[in-house]
Structure 1
Amino acid sequence: MYAHHQRLDSEEVQGLRREGGRFLKDLREARGLSQRQLATLVGAEYYTFISQLETGRGRIPPDRYRAWAEALGIEVRHFVQTLMRFYDPLTYEILFGAETDAEHLQGDADRPQRTTGG
């Protein structure tokens, strides 16, 4: 049986989750959405789920990635790739290398913004 090596109580994982939460909050605020509005757009039953994610106390379910990307106005492939930096950094590094934040942000500037499939 597979057991994920990252412990939720490790400081490194908690730090990454908090960074991921800031990423989500920044996107939400840039769109001018409240937590309630975003919860409605992504089909979350409770708006407090948004607060939990933004403070790093949870993860977006993968089956909701498209809805989140569309609600936040970001291309879905870029959204998922960025989430992977926070949710699964080992896989991210294997797939994309140890990209610096500056390189990642430059890629953002060059990437056209689309909200549908990839």
Structure 2
Amino acid sequence: MSSNTQHVEHQLRREGGAWLKNLRENVGLTQRAFSVTVGTDYYTFISQIENGRGRVPPERYKVWAEVLKVDPKEFMQGLMRYYDPYGYEMLFGEFPQPRDVGDDKRNVA
């Protein structure tokens, strides 16, 4: 895996965490309250995800979408954009780019 590919994936993961944090804040929940609501044992796990150092567990996607008041399909599409950019590209026709990488969508290999 090239250095640029790793950079793109890391940046997308961080942006995904920021997206999730924004959704959580929009429903008015603290990390602690959110962790209780979605059934996570430690609010620090929410912090790790929001900082791009973890992922939402797949078996919890639906409950997260419900608590965040996001349509489950839209939530999954958003997660896929940040967590699985290659699958996202296959389904939606474009490789998601982090804000700081530029416009060359093929500059990831």
Which TM-score band applies after superposition, normalised by the shorter structure?
A: 0.7 to 0.9
Aligned residue pairs total 96
Q: 1:11: Cα distance to partner? A: 1.6
**Counterpart amino acid of residue 18 in structure 2:** R
The 5-angstrom pairing of residues 48-63 of structure 1 reads 48-63=44-59
Name the structure 2 match of 1:64: 60
- How many Å separate the matches in 1 of 2:66 and 2:14? 22
Divergent runs of 4+, >3 A = none
The 5-angstrom pairing of residues 36-47 of structure 1 reads 36-47=32-43
Q: Does the aligned pair in 1 maintain the 2:88–2:95 contact within 8 Å?
A: no
Q: 1:77 aligns with which of 63, 70, 73?
A: 73
Q: Does the aligned pair in 1 maintain the 2:80–2:87 contact within 8 Å?
A: yes
Identity %: 52
TM (normalized to structure 2)?
A: 0.81
- How many Å separate the matches in 1 of 2:2 and 2:36? 31
Q: Does 1:26 align with 2:12?
A: no
Q: 1:14: Cα distance to partner? A: 1.1
Q: Does the aligned pair in 2 maintain the 1:6–1:13 contact within 8 Å?
A: no
Q: Unaligned 5+ residue runs, structure 1?
A: 102-118
Q: 1:28: Cα distance to partner? A: 0.5
- How many Å separate the matches in 2 of 1:61 and 1:15? 19
Q: 1:23 to 1:6 in 2, by over 3 A?
A: farther
Q: 1:46: Cα distance to partner? A: 0.2
Q: CA RMSD in A?
A: 2.3
